[in-house]
Amino acid sequence: MGLRIGVDIGGSFTDFAVFNEESGSLHSLKVFSRPDQPGQEVLHGIQELVKRYAINPADIHYFTHGTTVGVNAVVQKKGAKLGLITNRYFEDVLALGRLKTPDMYNLHSLRPTPLVAREHVFGIDGRLDATGRELNSINVPSVLTAIEGLRAAGCEGVVIALLHAYRNPVHEKQVQALIEQAMPGFFVCCSSDVWPTIREFERTQTAVIGAYVQPRVAHYLGALQQALKQAGVGAELKVTKSNGGVMSAESGKAECVQMILSGTASGVMGAAWVARQCGRENVMSLDIGGTTADVALIVKGEAQYDTGEYIGDYQIHIPSVSVTSIGDGGGSVARVDEFGVLKVGPESAGSTPGPVCYGRGGSQPTITDAFVTLGILGQAQLGYNSVNVDVAAAKAAIGTLATQPGQSIESIAESIINVSVSGMYAGISRLVSRFGIDPRAFSLMPFGGAGPMMACYLARAMRMREILVPLIPGVLSALGGLVADVKNDFVRIIYCDLTADRLPLLEAEYQRLESQARDWLSHEVADARRGQFRLSAEMRYKGQSFEIETPLQRDDLAQGNLAALRDAFHQQHQHLYAYSDRDALIQVVSLRLVVSMPTPKPQLEPLPQSDDAPIPTQQIDVWMSGGYHTVPLYQRSQLTAGQQFTGPAVITQSDTTIAVLPDFHAQVDATGNLILTDLTHTAK
């Protein structure tokens, strides 16, 4: 028994969730992030936890965290200077990409500049065919010429991405050995080691992104490990992964691409855990931090997964929690363009200098400043007393956006909120269309520092009936790291017809996958025998260009039940496209195996029950729905299970503020979650 800590390091704040396994208590904390000194925010946070909750760092036996350091390196173009080695005549693989425009509604849109400059791409001689059989051996002089080119260009590392390496990595390994012999200590990355999947561009792009962030991520993880030792924490550092699992920091240093979306995935895993605790099957999570609003779907209690998520302008093709980033965070800057139109984001004030109201040097009005101007923020402590809200400065900044005489700063501030909500509406509409769901059948779960402030505004625009605000929404991403399981994905390209004579091949390939998965798990946990395996296959009707992932039952494959395997694909195709062809031949492109090991989960204690009306700490004046209202201000910590009230109201807590608009009914459930119901929607 001891302490389990989850940390989420964002652009503005670093969040902590602390679970005491002995007492069952759950504590939280926010401190400012320190992108200039990685690890220092964690050291500061642990020191604050010791002061506030009298914890002993030596009692921390589990420490996991999510981070955006990899994403930021790609978005800010501050990664490693890389070279790329391809087959001769395939040097333009990154520049060609796929023949589609980045923005289908903009004929002038351009593909992003590749992360590897064209002059740093070197073609070599040697070739495998599509089965992995060698047609031409590796030409050593051509590799040596490429090595000299890497030296001359001053490259810090190289990615090797050769044709059909997903089938047979032998050529990539031969080139790697030649480079390491000629340049000892030089960073070399093989695409077959990153994600050995079919399609040349996608495999190359994914390997390049992983290598691009590797030096920065490895340095960051090393600094964080040192900070933990300095703080007296002996637990091995864990890292949340893009697929919603966790792995060791040492694995993270070598497999950076697997943790590149760790920060956003942690929040979704935390939201899925809360949804299951509350008995809600269908939930839309809304994570609003300082820079972005991230939206994800939880269906039947499970987060949705996909490949091809975007990191800035670049698509990465690894399994990851499916999250849509919209770009309207609490620090998003508001401005008036040359046509007099109010715009919000995507530029963000971040942590430094931050919104004007933080008093840290910010001068541009933000969404946070708008909420201060409306009277919703600034009525109580913010960020565990780490921020002193300057109301006058926020109002002055908002006033600079006035475009006509006599325009009130409150109306400008509310317009900022409405503009940001319209941007979220557009982004969410694309998401729900992609998954074919009706948002009105989902509960909205807001979290992050700004999520609960925006929730009522967005839910009303989306006509969503219910909002579920978790007990500690400001640090839910940190909690997500605590509840995430140890997890990894494995893939093996098959590329064969689904016929009876190919079933032995499929079974043999599955056995290899399972052996690989068990080896990985044994390095991550002490007892790998309790590992859980989930099998799927990427399949398509023969002649189709793209495949769909189809869950399979292990027993059906082991027993050679061809009819059941075929039926699984037909059903999945019918579900996605409302069509299936049971007479068509099916192709298996790849087998996929997900291995996971459950981790201990917190058990939230029920709150005291009360039917009494909640007592506000004071009455405050707040601008909502076009005018001022005198509304009650509640402390979240003083609310008990069963209590209820109707908005307008404001609820404060150490990690966030909740704005309850008029005609929203609020009720506290047994474990302290706040359920908000839109009465205007219910009545229609």
Considering only CA atoms, which of 477, 600, 476 is closest in space to residue 3?
600
What pLDDT sits at residue 683? Answer: 47
Q: Which residues contact 564 (CB under 8 A, 6 or more apart)?
A: 553, 556
pLDDT digits (tens, 9 = 90+) for 21-73: 777 778 888 887 776 776 788 888 888 888 888 888 888 988 988 887 787 78
CATH entry 2.130.10 includes domain 486-597: no
Q: Please name the residues in contact with 553: beta carbons below 8 A apart, sequence gap of 6 or more.
A: 535, 564, 568
Within 10 angstroms of residue 408's Cβ, the number of other Cβ atoms is: 13
CATH code for the domain defined by 3-74+220-262: 3.30.420.40
Interstrand relation of 237-240 and 60-67 (parallel, antiparallel or unpaired): parallel
What per-residue confidence (pLDDT) applies to 1?
57
CATH 3.30.1490 region(s) of the chain? 486-597
Residue 292's pLDDT is 76
**pLDDT score for 589:** 94
Query: CATH 3.30.420.40 region(s) of the chain?
Result: 3-74+220-262
Task: Please name the amino acid found at residue 382.
Answer: L
Nearest to 234 by CA among 2, 15, 484: 2
Rounded distance between C-alpha atoms, residue 669 and residue 542, angstroms: 51
Q: What is the pLDDT of residues 211-249, one digit of tens each?
A: 999 888 888 888 888 888 888 888 888 888 888 888 888
Provide the pLDDT for residue 580.
94
Residue 386 confidence (pLDDT): 65
Strands (E) in 498-608, as ranges, are: 532-541, 548-551, 586-597
Q: Which residues contact 203 (CB under 8 A, 6 or more apart)?
A: 161, 165, 166, 191, 194, 195, 196, 197, 317
What is the reported pTM? Answer: 0.84
**Cα–Cα distance, 380 to 616 (Å, whole number):** 13
Q: pLDDT tens across 337-384, in order?
A: 888 888 887 777 766 788 888 887 888 899 999 999 999 988 776 656
E strands present in 276-416 = 283-288, 293-299, 302-303, 305-306, 309-311, 314-316, 320-321, 323-325, 332-336, 342-348
Tens of pLDDT, residues 450-474:
899 999 999 999 999 999 999 888 8
Which residue stretches of 527-561 are H helix? Answer: 554-558
pLDDT of residue 351: 63
Measured between alpha carbons, how far is residue 114 from residues 95, 201, 522, 565 in Å?
A: 6, 12, 37, 40
Q: pLDDT value at position 307?
A: 80
What is the residue-averaged pLDDT of the chain? 88
The parts of the chain modelled with pLDDT lower than 50 are 683-684
Quick count: other Cβ atoms within 10 Å of Cβ 373?
27
Residue count (the chain): 684
* Gap between the Cα atoms of 210 and 143, Å rounded: 22
Residue 441 exposed, middle or buried by CB count within 10 Å (0-12, 13-18, 19+) = exposed
